[in-house]
Amino acid sequence: MPSYARYHTPEMRAFEGEGCFEALPAELDRLGCASAVIVCGRSMARDERLLALIRRPLGSRLDGICADVRPHSPLSAVQAVARYLRSSGTQCVIAVGGGSAIVTARAASILRAEDGDVASLCTQWLADGSMRSPRLAADKMPQIVVPTTPTTAIPKAGSAMLDEASGARMALFDPKTRARSVFLHPVFTASAPLALLHSAAFNSLALAVEGLLSRTAHPLSDAALVHAAGGLYRSLARGGGLASPAERRDLIWYAIQAGQGSDHTGAGMCIPIGHAISSMFNIDNGIANAIVLPHVLRFNAPSARRGIELLASALRVDGGGTDAGVAAVARALTQLAAATAYPSRLRDAGVARERLPDIAAVAMRDWYLRNNPVRIEHPGQIEALLRDAW
């Protein structure tokens, strides 16, 4: 282990407002790119009213629109986008949409640039239980993001693809694929349905909570995660207020903060469990995380008193890092999910009890587990928590 700590704040330019796309040509120039491709899902590709706002300032510098994005970024979709990027000869990617669009664009940029089979490019578990991400040396196309939902994927360097055969996540990591520019346009942030907005915000809240509970901490990550957790919690508690442009914009800023803070801390067991449930039962990540998060909080509390104290402060509940604080935070998160009309138990969300061991097995292969406050040594620990949540 090194005898020093490191905290890194990557570059990211952000543009906001109705006229923000006027800056797109200058951003392409700054990034040294003559042209760009839009990567999005099919529903976005059909919305000419929205895409015209990007087309207009780009003019002939737009090489095309690739609409192969699918939920959870399955490997086959990522490979399809990589082929499109390769054949188009483009120099920049503009990811338009939520987390799946952003992650797919990043991962596809890696597959386009790197040689070798996909498995050799992914983060690997080693025999001693540690993890290693191979150095991906090839240059990558700059990434520009136009988000529609409050997703923590916006500032990240990792890209988690879904292995459709096993249900596990395949992780690619390359800092060169971080978003260089983010454009927050009110028409795009207003385009997501309220249910999708709730789910994405809950997902971001779960990552902020897990970052605060993590075994890795830093004053700068604490500041980002406390602000993000408090903002996401209070925005979700207002419910219908999320329809306002200002509220949607702020949710995205909170999600960016949660993403940046958790870059340093990592997460814990809630995010891997949520991803496993989502991919196996076609349940939104946010809903799965909302059900599981209070159980994870109680499970980790004995080893995360400092994080609980910060979280209690962020959510403005009493008790600090004491047992009373743990109960108050768990109760606040449970009530928040209920106010959003989310189910409180996995059984009510359609999760089959006999599949709980399968969920645990998939979650065990996730890299986020290594920073969980309580060390996860075997899948039985996850199964026990899932039974409580079921």
Q: What is the pLDDT of residues 302-356, one digit of tens each?
A: 999 999 999 999 999 999 999 999 999 999 999 999 988 899 999 999 999 999 9
Q: Domain of residue 247: give its range.
A: 194-389
Q: Based on the fold, state whether residues 43 and 91 are members of the same structural domain.
A: yes
Task: Assess whether 215 and 72 both reside in one domain.
Answer: no
- Asked if residue 160 and residue 114 are part of one domain, the reply reads yes
Tell me, yes or no, whether 250 and 175 share the same domain.
no
Tokens of 275: 């991803």
Q: Which helix (H) or strand (E) covers residue 69, if one does?
A: strand 62-69
The answer to whether position 2 is within a domain reads no
Say if 272 falls within a structural domain: yes
**CA distances to 59, 75, 336, 388 from 163, in Å:** 37, 6, 32, 28
Residue 96 lies in a domain: yes
Mean pLDDT (whole number) for 156-185: 92
Minimal CA–CA distance to 44: which of 86, 97, 6?
97
Residue 1 lies in a domain: no
The 10s digit of each residue's pLDDT in 14-47 is 999 999 999 999 999 999 999 999 999 999 999 9
Same domain as 182, residue 209: no
Clarify whether residues 227 and 293 are in a common domain: yes
Give phi and psi for 127, each to the nearest 5: -60, -30
104 or 128, greater pLDDT = 104
pLDDT band at 240 (very low <50, low <70, confident <90, very high): low
6 found inside a domain: no
Residue showing tokens 């996540």: 169
On whether both 103 and 221 belong to a single domain, the answer is no
Distances (CA, A) of 39 to 6, 94, 331, 356, 378: 34, 6, 40, 35, 39
Whole-structure pTM value: 0.94
List the alpha helices (DSSP H) in the chain. 24-30, 42-45, 48-58, 75-88, 99-113, 118-121, 186-189, 194-213, 219-238, 245-265, 270-281, 285-300, 305-315, 323-339, 356-364, 379-389
- Total domains in the chain come to 2
Q: Is residue 7 part of a domain?
A: no
Q: What is the CA radius of gyration of the chain?
A: 20
**Last residue of some domain: 189, 209, 227?**
189
CB 85 within 8 A of CB 113: no
Do 184 and 199 belong together in one domain?
no
pLDDT, residue 1, reads: 58
Please report the pLDDT score of residue 70 as a whole number. 96
CATH of the domain at 56: 3.40.50.1970
Asked which of 169, 189, 209 is the last residue of a domain, the reply is 189
Residues 55 and 151 in one domain: yes
8 domain residue, yes or no: no
82 and 131 assigned to the same domain: yes
**Any domain includes 3:** no
- CB-side neighbour CA atoms (13 Å) of 378: 2
The residue out of 189, 205, 234 marking a domain boundary is 189
Distance CA 122, CA 160 (A): 9
Burial class (CB in 10 A: 0-12, 13-18, 19+), 88: middle
* Among 150, 143, 196, residue whose Cα is nearest residue 174: 143
